[in-house]
Amino acid sequence: MPGSLSKDEQAKLEKLGYAVDMLESDGQKIQAYNFKTPKRFTKDNMRLLNTIYDCFAKTLANKLTGVLRTAVQVDVLSINEKVYSQFSQEKRENFILPIIETKLKENDSYSTDHFVMAFSNKTIYAIINKLLGGSDDELENNRKFTILELNLIKNFIIANVNPILESAWSNYIDFITNTEEIALIPEVNKYFVSDTQTLCIEFEMIIGDLAQKFSICMPIELVENIFRNLGNRFMGLEDSEKINQRKSLMLEHVKESEVEIDVVLGKTELEFADILSLHAGDVMMLDSFTDSSVKVIIKGKEWFLGKVGVYRGRKSVKLTETL
């Protein structure tokens, strides 16, 4: 029946289903792949991003520990691709969102784009209290931020967060940032349409006894532009190394393969009628002489020339030339 699966394919599907059931029974969540929005970045890309933002998190923690005069810990939780509408829905309430203008150096000029950070209100209250000498007992506060407080946070991010983010990228690319404004989701929506594909980096920030999440949300086009500009300075070298590793691995597997080798003594042409009349004892004259080299053929390709002889009582070929 057209379109039906073979027994082998059915067996493979059954094994896959069994593996998924085993993972789910162990409490591991299986995430469905969305074919409408395919992943845009390779594992190498994601590994590089994780390295950069892990460096950013550790340096930011050290910086804030000194500035706020209390223990601060920052860890990367996840790096995922998601649609901006999903991000905005998650951060609609009890978050403030610094809008960051970025300038990316391309040849002799700079291209401008924007991305957004998201800090919970509790995180901002904690930072303000520490900056102004408040105690941990004053962290809970549900009032709106004053203009003075928003300006304080804007300057705090410009002075302490932006330079560390630029430094984390500095080993790979010229990345200049500037905090334009502190906004809520309605104001952020003028920079991003709802179906914009983004890359979201989720962090956990612990200030004293308070643990809260904050995020960086970058348009996919900005991140792709960054990787394009990295060029041979990093990704090209990494890709070359990966290619060489794969070649070595493939060569190791090829070494274990069995290959049939043919030795051609010579050739001749006969009419079909002559072929039909051939009998045992007939002699066919070839196009080569007795002292001519024979051709050694591997997988249909001529690799060597050689001389026919005898070695340990068996017909053998001594290789004389590589083709």
pLDDT value at residue 104:
81
Residues 215 and 106 in one domain: yes
Residue 304's CATH number:
2.30.330.10
Residues 117 and 197 in one domain: yes
In this prediction, what percent of the chain has a pLDDT beyond 90? 20
Residues 207 and 290 in one domain: no
Packing angle, helices 43-68 and 121-131, rounded to 10: 40
Residues 45 and 98 in one domain: yes
**27 belongs to a structural domain:** no
More confident residue, 248 or 315: 315
> Could you give the CA distance from residue 37 to residue 286 in angstroms, rounded to a whole number?
64
* 98 beta partners: 182
Calculate mean pLDDT across residues 163-191. Answer: 84
Average pLDDT over the chain, rounded to an integer: 81
Residue 120's CATH number:
3.40.1550.10
pLDDT value at residue 119:
93
Quick one: pLDDT band at residue 185, thresholds 50, 70, 90? confident
Residues 201 and 106 in one domain: yes
Calculate mean pLDDT across residues 12-40. Answer: 58
Reply yes or no on whether the pLDDT at 34 is more than 80. no
pLDDT value at residue 161:
93
pLDDT value at residue 235:
44
**12 belongs to a structural domain:** no
Quick one: pLDDT band at residue 36, thresholds 50, 70, 90? low
Residues 113 and 231 in one domain: yes
Quick one: pLDDT band at residue 202, thresholds 50, 70, 90? very high
Residues 165 and 314 in one domain: no
CB neighbours of 72 closer than 8 A, spacing ≥ 6? 61, 64, 65, 205, 206, 207
Quick one: pLDDT band at residue 31, thresholds 50, 70, 90? low
Quick one: pLDDT band at residue 231, thresholds 50, 70, 90? low
Reply yes or no on whether the pLDDT at 241 is more than 70. no
> What's the domain range around 92?
33-239
Measured CA to CA in angstroms, residue 278 lies from 207, 268, 282, 300 at distances of: 95, 14, 7, 27
In this prediction, what percent of the chain has a pLDDT beyond 70? 76
- pTM value is 0.60
Strands (E), the chain: 72-83, 95-106, 109-120, 175-183, 197-207, 210-219, 261-264, 294-298, 301-311, 314-322
**123 belongs to a structural domain:** yes
Quick one: pLDDT band at residue 15, thresholds 50, 70, 90? low
> Could you give the CA distance from residue 309 to residue 294 in angstroms, rounded to a whole number?
11
Where do runs of H (alpha helix) occur along 27-139? 43-68, 84-90, 121-131
**24 belongs to a structural domain:** no
Quick one: pLDDT band at residue 262, thresholds 50, 70, 90? confident
Calculate mean pLDDT across residues 80-102. Answer: 87
**21 belongs to a structural domain:** no
Quick one: pLDDT band at residue 118, thresholds 50, 70, 90? very high
More confident residue, 99 or 109: 99
pLDDT value at residue 1:
46
Reply yes or no on whether the pLDDT at 271 is more than 90. no
**170 belongs to a structural domain:** yes
pLDDT value at residue 216:
94
Packing angle, helices 121-131 and 147-160, rounded to 10: 80
- Report the number of distinct structural domains present in the chain: 2
Quick one: pLDDT band at residue 232, thresholds 50, 70, 90? very low
**245 belongs to a structural domain:** no
Residues 134 and 267 in one domain: no
**246 belongs to a structural domain:** no
pLDDT value at residue 41:
77
Which residue from 175, 171, 154, 49 is spatially nearest to 103, judged by alpha carbons? 175
